[in-house]
Amino acid sequence: MLLVVDANVFTSALIARGFTLDLFFSDKLQLLVPDWIFTEIGEHKDEILEKAGISEEELALFINLLIIRVELTPAEDLREWLNKAKEISPDPDDAPYFALALKFNCGIWSNDAELKEQSVVSVLTTEDVKKLVGL
């Protein structure tokens, strides 16, 4: 199953390290992220470090581990879909995730309930994804 992973799920895997992290390594999932995710993580780095109880070096190693499991898409590859994404995204900051989902005609894995306030792109919570892969 092809899914776009948003920053809240990515950081949840970093912080909680529970079944969200297990899902990242499921062979039933092909995961996509826009390179914008690093901007979001950088904006919340101190909060992530505190919640996860890890050092900056450990955070960098953990991000590198997760990046192995996702396909990173540069912002310039999303330009064609960005205007439509901005129209449908309930939050302008999430437009890159919607653009990526539109480009690949797939859903978004997010625990942000606000993202479900549109009907163009399917938004699945971690619980939804967990059920779909049989965990």
Most confident of 5-9, 49-53, 102-106, 113-117: 102-106
- What integer is the mean pLDDT of 7-31? 87
The count of domains in the chain is 1
For position 124, what pLDDT does the model report? 97
Q: Region 14-39: what's the mean pLDDT?
A: 88
Domain hosting 68: range is 2-133
Residue 122 has a pLDDT of: 96
Taking residues 10-28, report their average pLDDT: 86
Confidence tier at 42 by pLDDT (50, 70, 90): confident
Q: In degrees, to the nearest 5, what angle opens at C-alpha 115 toward C-alphas 135 and 10?
A: 50
CB-based contacts of 113: which residues, under 8 Å, 6+ apart? none
Give residue 18's pLDDT.
80
Q: What is the pLDDT of residue 44?
A: 87
Answer whether 15's CB lies under 8 Å from 9's CB. Answer: no
CA proximity to 123, closest of 106, 112, 101, 107 = 107
What distances in angstroms separate CA 5 from CA 38, 56, 123, 128, one per listed residue? 12, 22, 10, 13
Q: How confident is the model at residue 39 (pLDDT cuts 50, 70, 90)?
A: confident
- pLDDT for residue 72: 92
The domain that holds 53 is classified in CATH as: 3.40.50.1010
**Is residue 124 classed as helix, strand or coil in its secondary structure?**
strand
